[in-house]
Chains A and B, each alone.
Chain A
Amino acid sequence: MNCSSKEEEIYTPIPYNLEIPTLFTDKLIAPIIPTNNPLTVEGIALGKKLFFDTILSGDETQSCASCHNPTNAFTDDAQFSNGIDGDFGTRNSMPLFNLAWNFDERFAWDGKEFSLENQALEPVSNPTEMNSDWKTVIEKLQNHTEYPTLFLQAFGTLTIDSTLVTKAIAQYERTLISGNSKFDQFLLGETTLTSEEQNGFDIFMDEARGDCFHCHGSNNNPLWTDNAFHNNGLDSNFSDLGLGAITGDPADNGKFKSPSIRNLAFTAPYMHDGRFATLEEVINHYSEGLQPSSTIDPLMKKVNQGGVNLSSKDKADLKAFLLTLSDFDFINNTDFKE
C-alpha cells in the first residue's frame, strides 16, 4: 500500500448540509448539488480560503473577492472591474448568492459557463482579470505550506489540480445563501411593510404597471429571478451580443441573464454593463427608456411609448419595495468572510 492510499483511508471529509431558509424549502425545488462534488466541511473551508487568496492571480494582488466583495453582496461597486494589469473588462461583476438554485446552471451574464465549477476556471487565466495560468497556480498551491494538506482533507489527495480548485470554490459559493431580508421576514409574518413598500410590491406584481414578476420572481419564487436571458430594451443596436455571441443565434442577440433583485442596495451599478448608477435610473429605464429592437422581449410593454410610464409616486414606492429585499445578515455574515 502506498502513502496516498493510506492517506485516503485516514481523511474522510464531513458531509455538510446547506442551511436553507424556510421560504426556499417551502417554495422551491431542491438546490443543485452535483453528485461528483458533494458539499463537505473541509471542501467549503478550502473553497473559502481559495476565494479570498490572491495566490490565484498572476502577480498575487487579486483574489476572487477583489471583484466579488461580501460587503457588496459579492460584487463590487465599479462599472467594470479592473484586472491585475489595470485592464478593464466589458461586463459588470455579477453578485453571488443563491447560486445553487440556478436550475439551468448557466452562469455569467451571457450564460457562457455551464456549472459553477466551470465558471470558476475562466477568471484565473483571463488576461483582463487574474491573468495567470493554471499550471503556475497549481505549482504555487502544490508548493504551499498549507494547501496540500487542505486538499488532502477535502478531497483525499495531495495532488492538486484545477478541477479540485474549482470544485472547492464552487462548494463555498453554494453556501452563499441570501434569504433573510425584510420582505422575507414579512412573508414569514415577522414584520410589516410600510404603505409605500406594499404599494411598490403591488406595482411589481401588476401586469398593467410594473409587470416585473414575469422575469424577477415573486413571493412564491424567493430567488427573485427566473435565471433566464432577456433583451430588456437597453439598446436598439448591440455593441455586446450577450447570449447571441454564445449560441450564435441572432434571435439571442442583446439577451442577458436576469439578475436577482435581492440586495440591490449593495450591488450598484446595474445592468450587464453597469450603465445605471442608481435604482432610479433603472426604474426610469423600464418606465420611459425602452429601446426597440428585433429581439426585445415581448414582456417589455409599450415600447413605442418608452415603457409603462409609471408615476413619480409609483416609482418611489417601487424603489421602496425593492429595498426591502436587502439582506443585511447576508452581507455581514462572518461565515462568508475571510
Chain B
Amino acid sequence: MKKFALILISSVLFFTACNKNKLDCCVFPETVTVTLKFTHNWDGTPITATDFNDFKFTTENGELVSIEKLRYLVSNITLDSQIKNYNLINIGENTDLEINFTDINQGTNNLKFTFGFADADNTDGIYQDLNSVSFNVPEMMGGGYHFMQFDGKYKDTNNEDASFNYHAIRAVDMSDTNNLIFEDTSFEVDLGTVEITNNAIVEVKVNIAEWFKNPNTWNLNELNTVLMPNFEAQKMMSANGKTVFSLGDIN
C-alpha cells in the first residue's frame, strides 16, 4: 500500500510539474500563434480605407492620384512549415488584412509568399470564393484570376480627372489570338527569417508607391486603363511589385 501511494504521489508531482512553461524535466516543442498583418503606406505615410477617394498621393512620375479600390491576392503564404493557400486582401473593404497561423514552432522561421497565383495554381474558375467576388480573368486572356485590382483616378496633363485601372494578371501576349503567349508574372516575396519567441504579430509593410516607381517609373498619362491585355505593362507591374513588400515590426 505504501509503495502504491508513493508511485501515485510521484506521478502527480511529475505531471503537474511538467507543464509547457516549465520544461526542466521533459522537452515539448513550444508552439505559438502568429498573425501576419498587412499594413499599407505610401512612401511611409500610412494608408487605410479612410484615405481613399482623395487626391492625396503623388507618383514618382508626378501624377496626383486618388485610390478608389485596391484588392490583391497573395498565395502560398509560408511560415515555418505551414502553408496557407491564398488570401485576398481588400483595403477598401478592410477585409482579410490579417492571416493567422497556429502551432508555429518558436525559433527562427522563414516567411515568404507569392504575389498573385503562380501558373500551377492559377486555374480558371476553381476558387469559389474568388469567383463570388468577380476576381476572374476572361478566358480569352487565358483565364485564371487577377493578382491585383487597383482602381483610381489621377490628374492628367490638363489637370482633369482621369481613370486608371492598374490590374495585374498573368502577362499574355494577344497579338495572335490563336496563339496566346503567356508569361508568369506572379513573383515570390521572400521576407527572410523572423525570430518567433512567443505569440506574435508580424507586420508585412506594403508600400503602394512602389507600384509606380521602381525600376519602372510609371507614367499614368500613358499607361492608365486597358492594361490587362498589355503584355509589356504586365511585365513592368511585376518588376515594380518586387519592391512593394517588406518586413515590418514583430510584436
Chain B interface residue count: which class? Answer: 20 to 34
Q: With the chains together, A266 CA to B43 CA distance in Å?
A: 51
Contacts of B139 in A (CB 8 A): 205, 219
Contacts of B161 in A (CB 8 A): 292, 294
Measured between C-beta atoms, what is the minimum distance from A21 to chain B in Å?
Answer: 14
Measured between C-beta atoms, what is the minimum distance from A132 to chain B in Å?
Answer: 37
Q: A27-B131, A294-B161, A300-B163 are in contact. Are A220 and B136 (CB under 8 A)?
A: yes
B38 within 8 A of A: no
Tell me what chain B mostly uses at the interface: helix, strand, loop, or mixed: mixed
Measured between C-beta atoms, what is the minimum distance from A30 to chain B in Å?
Answer: 9
* Cβ–Cβ contact A226 & B133, under 8 A: yes
Q: With the chains together, A336 CA to B48 CA distance in Å?
A: 45
Measured between C-beta atoms, what is the minimum distance from B134 to chain A in Å?
Answer: 5
The residue that A218 contacts in the complex, of B138, B149, B151, B163, with Cβ under 8 A, is: B138
Contacts of A294 in B (CB 8 A): 161
Q: CB within 8 Å of B: which of A286-302?
A: 292, 294-302
Q: With the chains together, A27 CA to B226 CA distance in Å?
A: 26
Contacts of B68 in A (CB 8 A): 297-298
Contacts of A303 in B (CB 8 A): 162-163
Measured between C-beta atoms, what is the minimum distance from B151 to chain A in Å?
Answer: 4
Stretch at the interface among A144-152, A206-214, A316-324: A206-214
Q: With the chains together, A303 CA to B161 CA distance in Å?
A: 10
Interface 1/0 per residue, B203-230 and A, CB below 8 Å: 0000000000000000000000110110
Q: Which 5 A-B pairs have the closest CB atoms?
A: A251-B53, A298-B163, A205-B138, A298-B151, A220-B125
A-B contact pairs, 27 of them (CB 8 A): A26-B125, A26-B128, A27-B125, A27-B128, A29-B128, A101-B132, A103-B133, A207-B165, A207-B167, A207-B228, A207-B229, A208-B229, A211-B226, A213-B134, A217-B134, A219-B125, A251-B52, A294-B161, A295-B53, A296-B163, A297-B163, A298-B68, A298-B164, A298-B165, A299-B165, A300-B163, A302-B225
